[in-house]
Amino acid sequence: MSLGNKRGAAAALLVISMLASLALAQAASAATISTKKACYVAVDPDEQLKVPVTGSGYTPGEKIVVEVLEFGEDDSILGYKFFIPDANGKIAGAITNTYAFSDAVSAEKVRLRVRGGEDEATLVEAPMWMAYRELTATPWHHVKPHQTITLEGAGFKSGKPLYAHYVHDGKQVMSAKVGKTTGPCGLIKTKTQLFPFKHSHFGEYDVQYDNSKKYNPKTHPKVVHPLLPGKF
């Protein structure tokens, strides 16, 4: 082969290599990952959350891993699952070993990360939220029935009114709107009266907090607090 032909062949190989690298880069940049919901809520600190994910734009047959990570310098992994993209480069499944990393009454922004290839490079990332369903009242003990308290909670339906249903001996006595939730994880922080009506029954009440205007003991999601107004 002449020197000119060798140079031509080398140039052709270089072009092919560059095109292949460009194709891989474009494929990686086109990768997507998403969840069905913006926020996933745990009702118990030890609960394993199920996070369904879907994605596209991956190399068919090449194993990838989808991880749920804390935002931070250490990239703590909260859960993960391996996937094999189908012939169309798509994945679908659920990460079932994910733990909410905090039992605080708050929502925490986390992220999905997809890694793959021989160097396990990051292919795509996407944000998501996690929360622990709880509602706290401050103060709660040793307060007068009509004293103002601060309610702070998370894990309810997003952008919906929150109601307090007062139940005595299994029967609803009254319901009252206490505020409206905000954000993807249904957060609320509001002030309200501990017991916003004149009670005629002394003894224990259950106060069910939920997003339904009408009381239903089977409503979900909900938080139930016991209350003893007759002892104040």
Contact assessment for residue 65 and residue 81, using Cβ atoms and an 8 Å cutoff: yes
Q: How confident is the model at residue 165 (pLDDT cuts 50, 70, 90)?
A: very high
Residue 31 is predicted with a pLDDT of: 95
Tokens (6 digits) for 149: 């308290």
Strands 39-42 and 121-132: parallel
Instruction: Determine the average pLDDT of the residues in 92-112.
Output: 81
Q: How confident is the model at residue 178 (pLDDT cuts 50, 70, 90)?
A: very high
Q: How confident is the model at residue 202 (pLDDT cuts 50, 70, 90)?
A: low
Note the pLDDT tens digit of each residue in 69-95. 987 767 788 899 999 999 999 999 999
Tokens (6 digits) for 200: 């005629």
CA dihedral of residues 148, 231, 133, 45 (deg, nearest 10): 130
Q: Over 70: is that where the pLDDT of 126 sits?
A: yes
pLDDT averaged over the chain? 83
CA-based nearest residue to 82, from 99, 61, 60, 63: 63
Determine the distance from the C-alpha atom of residue 43 to the mean position of all C-alpha atoms in its chain, rounded to a whole number.
12
Higher-confidence position of 46 and 150? 150
Q: Over 50: is that where the pLDDT of 58 sits?
A: yes
Q: Give me the amino acid identity at 71.
A: F
Residue 28 is predicted with a pLDDT of: 47
Highest mean pLDDT among 10-14, 40-44, 97-101: 40-44
Residue 26 is predicted with a pLDDT of: 46
- How many whole angstroms separate alpha carbon 161 and alpha carbon 193? 16
The residue whose two tokens read 């709107």 is 177
115 Cβ neighbours under 8 A, 6+ residues apart: 64, 65, 67, 121, 122, 123
Q: Over 90: is that where the pLDDT of 155 sits?
A: yes
DSSP annotation string for 37-95: SSEEEESSTTPEEEEEEEEE-PPTT--EEEEEEESSSS--EEEEEEE---TTS-EEEEE
- Domains, the chain, ordered by start: 30-132 (2.60.40.230), 134-231 (2.60.40)
CA-based nearest residue to 221, from 104, 109, 132, 101: 132
